[in-house]
Structure 1
Amino acid sequence: MRRISSLMAAIILGGFCATAQQASGGISPEMMTTIKSAYKNTPADRAIRNAITANDINSLARNLDARRPVSSEFSHRVPSKGITNQRSSGRCWLFTGLNVLRAQMMTEHDLPMTELSQNYNFFFDQLEKANLFLQGVIDTSDRPMDDKTVDWLFRNPLSDGGQFTGIADIVGKYGVVP
């Protein structure tokens, strides 16, 4: 067990020496020799070896610097003209994107109030996703139904979820309507 741990430490400490790596991507005997010879059994090497052998990978990979408090200070403020209620539609991405556009439109055109149609853009979002699903079916038509990709396609044909890039693409292609 101790020998395996030392070998693992040597591999990790030695790094990845690409010069001895085989063209196929495997570890060559020369690469293994280079890795083993990089381990010098210094106090620092022993401390690292002890840490590697006595801790699980999740503890070792933890980045404590990333656990610092997140600043809640923002450098930009997006003007808001109120919010629209999505209720439980699952389309927060769409409502948020259209609310940002609505505020800009109201400011630029000096409008006291306006609302943009979420249904209009949601229709085209679903149309694009249906087309993507059907293209996936065409692309995998030579595969059996129990193929992982085919199975995933038919379990997830459409969703109402999205993100900023989705609203940007839909609005860019189909526009908005009040």
Structure 2
Amino acid sequence: MDKAIEPSSVSRYARNLDDFKEADIVRRAVTHNGVLKSAADYESTAAMDPTFSVNVSDQHVSNQLRSGRCWVFAALNTMRTHVENNFNVPKDFELSQTYTFFWDKFEKSNYFLNNVIKTADQPLTSRKVSFLLETPQQDGGQWDMLCALIEKYGVAPKTAMPETYNSNMSAEINTALNTQLRHDAVILRKLVNDGQSEDIINAKRDDMMNEIYRMLVYAFGKPVEQFNFEYYDADKKYHIDQNLSPQVFFAKYVNIELDDYVSIINSPTSDKPFNKTYTVEMLGNVVGGREVKHYNLPIERLKELTIAQLQAGETVWFGSDVSMASDRKNGIMDTNLYHVDELMQTDMSLTKAERLDYGESVMNHAMVITGVDLVNGKPTKWKVENSWGEKVGTKGYFVMSDDWFSEFVYQVVINQKFLTDSEKAEQKVAPKLLDPWDPMGTLA
């Protein structure tokens, strides 16, 4: 039943404010400083000392600048650790984020056009079509999408395909691409609904992809096909490896089996029982490539697996909600960082499941866990390599409290050798298909 706000209610609310003795003090603080500064607990800063008993990597922190490529940066940062360990490259060595970014946008465009054709029989008002057209492509992604790209295109060192204006500042090319793709969607839906043949539709789609490729070359440069890998190692010794393709470079220098790594999520919602696998409809980039697949486990198991991989000397890609209880400047992620509920003298509590179910929190950023502080075998805080450059945190590294891990970490990527036999068997089971708008389909 609808109920309007009565003037008498407003008067009562104003009188009730007198019950809060600190109201004027809080009002002055919040109006002058804002909510978060007024609610900040700076004892949290002292507790998040950046010292860790297990420390896997201190590599130079990269910078995604004004782009949404965190998932690419995080994945390539885990892989460059392998190059650093095996070939003694300098700490500032990076893999080309632009090379991977180019192919992701190219493949996402084709993925979108395929979904346009699949849903052409549905009205524009259907939820799936509306969801599809809302964002034809974007910067974000998932671990399995990154694997699909590398399996098809390999990787390259940053020197072979460096940054451009559009890779650093992606808003303009995203706008142009999405306008073009919506234009193409109009044409494809009409062809399908006019009963045109599959050959005619595919020929038109091919013309569209030719245009997309041209747009991407204008924005990022032509993707490198062959290059020389030339560098001085950390001991100042010169090296050169000539005429490499990105596929050969990945096999030789990164040299990991992507199939060994699986996505482990923590989604404690009633619709996703633990020890089951899930995928998300219309989530992906490479048509015919690896599908997104999540294996859902309790949060304490995610921590155990992460610690095991760190202790084996390997960093961990993870996805979280970095917008929650996070201090970007000081590089701290801690649930005790701000006490907004105490400041406002109200109850704002939500469980992790409730945050997901009610749209309060989703995974929106990928980073790399490079260390952990263990006290009596239990984690107290975690070392995190971000991709926001070295001017934030401790030279770009953040400290994440263990409680923040519990509340706002949603995904870790783990080598399946650390799983138990029963977990390996459960992870291999065909996944349940989730709706396109499910929270676990959010792109980092």
TM-score by length of 2: 0.22
- The aligned residue for residue 89 of structure 1 is 67
Provide the aligned C-alpha RMSD in A.
Answer: 2.2
SS in 2 for 1:152: helix
Distance 1:97 1:148 in 2: 32
2:100 corresponds to: 121
Q: CA deviation at 1:76?
A: 6.7
Q: Aligned partners of 1:176 and 1:116: how far apart in 2?
A: 7
Counterparts of 1:175 and 1:149 in 2: how far apart (Å)? 32
Match status 1:79 vs 2:38: no
Aligned letter for 1:119?
Answer: T
The amino acid across from 2:67 in the alignment is S
Q: Which runs of 4+ in 1 moved over 6 A?
A: none
- Rate the CA distance shift 1:134–1:78 in 2: closer, same or farther, 3 A: farther
Any idea what the Cα deviations from partners look like across 1:44-91, whole Å, max 9, x if unmatched?
Answer: xxxxxxxxxxxxxxxxxxxxxxxxxxxx9x997543422111122111
- The secondary structure found in structure 1 opposite 2:66 is coil
Which of residues 154, 167, 170 in structure 1 aligns to 2:133? 154
Q: Find the aligned partners of 1:168 and 1:127 in 2 and give their Cα distance.
A: 15
Residue segments in structure 2 that go unaligned for 5+ positions in a row:
1-47, 158-444
Match of 2:145, SS state, is helix
C-alpha spacing 1:141/1:102, structure 2 compared with 1 (3 Å): same
Letter in 1 for 2:63: N
**CA–CA separation in structure 1 for the residues paired with 2:116 and 2:143:** 26
Which of 97, 119, 128 is the equivalent residue of 1:140? 119
For the residues of structure 1 that align with 2:64 and 2:98, how far apart are their CA atoms? Answer: 11
Which amino acid in the other structure matches residue 144 of structure 1? Answer: P
Deviations 1:86-110 (A, max 9, x none): 1221111111111111121122112
Give the Cα separation in 2 of the matches to 1:79 and 1:103. Answer: 7
Gaps of at least 5 residues in structure 1 are 1-71
- Within 5 Å, give how 1:11-160 maps onto structure 2: 77-112=55-90, 113-160=92-139
Q: Name whichever of 80-89 and 93-102 sits farther off.
A: 80-89
Q: How many matched pairs?
A: 106
Letter in 2 for 1:94: V
Residues 94 and 78 of structure 1, relative CA distance in 2, 3 Å threshold: farther
Distance in 1 separating the partners of 2:146 and 2:55? 20
Q: Residues 80 and 103 of structure 1 are in contact (CA less than 8 Å); yes or no, is this contact kept in structure 2?
A: no
Query: CA shift at 1:173, angstroms?
Result: 2.1
The higher radius of gyration belongs to 1
What residue identity is the alignment partner of 2:81?
A: A
Kindly indicate which of the two structures has a greater share of residues assigned to helix. Answer: 1
Q: Tell me, yes or no, if the aligned pair for 1:95 and 1:118 is still in contact at 8 Å.
A: yes
1:169 aligned partner: 148
Taking CA–CA contacts closer than 8 Å with sequence separation of 6 or more, which of the two structures ends up with the larger relative contact order? 2
Tell me what 2:248 maps to.
none
* C-alpha distance in structure 1 between counterparts of 2:63 and 2:86, whole Å: 23
Distance 1:133 1:151 in 2: 13
Tell me, in whole angstroms, the C-alpha distance in 2 between the residues paired with 1:143 and 1:87: 39
